[in-house]
Amino acid sequence: ERVLIIVPETLQHQWLVEMLRRFNLRFALFDDERYAEAQHDAYNPFDTEQLVICSLDFARRSKQRLEHLCEAEWDLLVVDEAHHLVWSEDAPSREYQAIEQLAEHVPGVLLLTATPEQLGMESHFARLRLLDPNRFHDFAQFVEEQKNYRPVADAVAMLLAGNKLSNDELNMLGEMIGEQDIEPLLQAANSDSEDAQSARQELVSMLMDRHGTSRVLFRNTRNGVKGFPKRELHTIKLPLPTQYQTAIKVSGIMGA
């Protein structure tokens, strides 16, 4: 019922329009002026609205404002362009610390980025840490786990293939999952019964929950999300600016 969306300042109005146009959700845009006005209506200005959009700079710039945001009992926190949250073990940025403080008070956190790993493994870990600090608490351990993903991926592929599993493969799965009473499920997955497929899916789910990023990371592409209209190219002729014409002439003279 209560949603806070934090975006770069330049995207605030785009989000405001898109939420209304696509989902018929009327968000309130909070800036310094709106915040000051709302202070006359409630002790916590953010209690005056259920759906709020604000900029990251607005959220982190004032200690009192950040405290009010944390106390507003949001159900969902959405952060767009989350790859801009700079973090290191020794010196996390003020923006990162602000979102981290908010995430501790909000049960649902959604971080949006089109480039989850472009800025390196440390940046990727920093966002995972916001989503599940208990699971992702040690960067060195995270790096070490990354090196061991190939056996896990091979195990998942093996289960999805549906072929009979050897004793060595069954033992490997048992070690990866690490449950004492896993043997009956392994035998069911390796049988010819009707339950074999569901047992294999359950084993895949158990591997996902114990290794890698589990279910805190989702990747969507246009290939995976259908229903988009076909793109059409519409060309529009524009006059070449004078500066460009001059640069072309100079380049031609120098080249000659």
- pLDDT tens string, the chain, 256 residues long: the values are 899 999 999 999 999 999 999 999 999 999 999 999 998 888 999 999 999 999 999 999 999 999 999 999 999 999 999 888 887 777 888 998 999 999 999 999 998 887 766 666 777 788 888 887 777 777 777 777 777 667 777 777 877 787 787 888 788 778 777 777 788 888 888 788 888 888 888 887 877 777 666 555 555 666 666 777 788 889 999 998 888 888 888 887 776 5
Domain ranges of the chain: 3-139, 149-210
The predicted pLDDT at position 213 comes to: 63
Q: Are 8 and 95 in contact (CB under 8 A)?
A: no
The residue written with tokens 């916001």 in the block is 130
Task: Identify any residues that bridge with 76 across adjacent strands, giving them in sequence order.
Answer: 3, 108
Domain 3-139: assigned CATH number: 3.40.50.10810
Closest CA to 120 of 95, 150, 83: 83
Closest CA to 113 of 78, 142, 137, 138: 78
Q: How many helices (H) and strands (E) does the chain have?
A: 12, 5
Containing 108, the helix (H) or strand (E) segment is: strand 108-111
**Widest CA span of the chain, in angstroms?**
81
Backbone angles phi, psi at 40, to 5 degrees: -75, -20
Cα 61 to Cα 98: distance, rounded to the nearest angstrom: 9
Cα 163 to Cα 43: distance, rounded to the nearest angstrom: 63
Half-sphere exposure of 110 (CA within 13 A, CB side): 14
* pTM reported for the whole predicted model: 0.65
